[in-house]
Chain A
């Protein structure tokens, strides 16, 4: 048995072929490893949630599938990189960049996107796709295509007994949970939130009630971009930055939204955690499957619940 295509060099060494999904267990058995994977999965999941929330709200309210969502995430990560490098302070970036991205989103909705609402969906898809490419090229021009790296913020690791866990990731989970609670509170418990919810259900009706729906649309798109920006800034210290990084995460985010149910906020939460856990637990037993398992999960859920876990007709 020979792996690779490089001829006869030591092709008599098939031993690692059997270890394709090798998992090396610590003395405590598989439980500590599974526990650490659950933690890793949640860290992955919270970033997906931030992105999926924005994507879902925009779809629910504006009826637009925003293909530029990943691009917002990418450019925010680069902005965080530059701000941190020049000011020496990541926290300024964490505060300023999402706000900036919110403004960017508002600008795009106001100047371009709103002209597309009465057109067929294909135009909206082409437009947001185009925006994504433009943003990606802008990143390449400003920052060049070479990979960039932001040093880890909140350095250090915590010994949880069963594993070492980076402090930054713990911070990420806590902060994102707080933000998600705030967003949920805003949407479920405030007046503006009720307008958004109503708009998601039936935007012409909201308009009839005398609410300026087009302003709400603008703000919602800005809000979605702001959340994507936040996800970008938070991811920057744990990922290497590349101009096309937005596309990679966009695919997973779509899966999260579809699984949770398009336009459903709690769906985005559940979908995000579910996908994060599915990926990290699969990598434990079947590494090559991590990128496949999310689609298998999506297929199963769509077959049994065509509108997603919490989606409605």
Chain B
């Protein structure tokens, strides 16, 4: 009996030592948004390569699952990978609807989950103790984009908005307009444009007719690219400053430098952020993937890196130990000293305002913008709908 007991014990230890610990990426890897999933994987790979895929004496194995951009599939794949592989960390990007669904699975399955989803609810109404986020979310994007711009050009008080006609656009205006008014600016008009619009000439002509100081294009992705491109084409820059609250490398590429010159954009991170962390990351990424680093990679890189640090510090992979460590954790991040708020699991760091460079001033192909402003405006505890997550038992 004793022999049997010791044998089984030996068996357990052996399999424990050989069995790698799994980190997983559950993301959109096929279809039109495959590029975003690819960057999630790259961020994970970079962080794991730094520790040589080994942590606390164990091998780390990377498991990847495709969500096919459907919340149903995402939830199924996430449950499947949790049941089979028991991952100690799952990361994901893609749409907010998918992220919100996955967030629930993380809570239900007691699995540590880092998300890139922009909905305010992710660390707001729907927040939970297993979910963390580095990207600032829509509230911060909308508010910072206005505050940073008004700090830079306080005399430009008449704002016109061209807004995407769906929930994201409404929630952006819900924050932007009161912020503008609070700063003594005027919202002189808005036009809602259908999602997937390719032709913005009408809206731009109408906006220009209102003679505003700033035309803010509250659109994302391809809609934004076409709107900014056409704003340049139709001479809107001669009438007003062109502004977008949220943008990034892919959209800059889609707009091109000629049209982007002089355009103000809110961005979460840019490869020329002057901190040791960001410089090092940009250099390493270029070396490893032969491309310019973008927000959508560093977002996941930092998530994995911070998790690894926390795991090292508590000497365990178990969410029960790692999560309390992450709550309130101060770490060195892309913007220098950053921290994770314990009561909503939101990472706190600045949001940037950039201005498009003239094509002749660019030092390299992707040198689209210079950073002209920065500041942070996260929802306060009173504003946030995230309540009592610390009460959840791990």
Contacts and interface: CB of A to CB of B under 8 A. Distances in A.
Interface in A7-44: 7-11, 13, 15-16, 19-26, 32-33, 36-37, 40, 43-44
Contact of A240 (B172, B203, B222, B238): B222
A37 B177 contact: no
Given A9-B139, A238-B229, A166 B234 contact: yes
Contacts of A291: 194, 196-197
A29 to B, nearest CB: 11
A163 B205 contact: yes
Interface in B369-394: 379, 383, 385
A217 interface: no
A146 B171 contact: no
Given A145-B35, A147-B251, A157-B235, A10 B174 contact: yes
A149 B254 contact: yes
Interface stretch (A68-76, A190-198, A279-287): A279-287
Of the four ranges (under 10, 10 to 19, 20 to 34, 35 or more), the interface on chain B belongs to 35 or more
Interface stretch (B2-10, B15-23, B70-78, B119-127): B119-127
Nearest to A44: B199
B201 interface: yes
A6 interface: yes
Specify the main secondary structure of chain B where it touches its partner. Answer: helix
A40 B209 contact: no
B342 interface: no
Contacts, number: 181
Contacts of A169: 233
Contact of A40 (B177, B201, B238): B201
Interface stretch (B184-192, B268-276, B303-311): B184-192
B255 A240 contact: yes
Nearest to B239: A164
Interface in B178-230: 178, 187-194, 196-199, 201-203, 205-210, 222, 225-226, 229-230
B201 A16 contact: no
A23 B138 CA distance: 27
Contacts of B177: 10, 13, 15-16
Interface of A: 2-11, 13, 15-16, 19-26, 32-33, 36-37, 40, 43-44, 144-152, 155, 157, 163-166, 168-169, 238-244, 248, 279-280, 283-284, 287-288, 290-291
Interface of B: 32, 34-35, 119-121, 124-125, 138-139, 160, 165, 167-175, 177-178, 187-194, 196-199, 201-203, 205-210, 222, 225-226, 229-230, 232-235, 238, 250-251, 253-259, 379, 383, 385
Give 5 nearest A-B pairs by CB, closest first: A4-B171, A147-B254, A3-B170, A149-B256, A4-B170
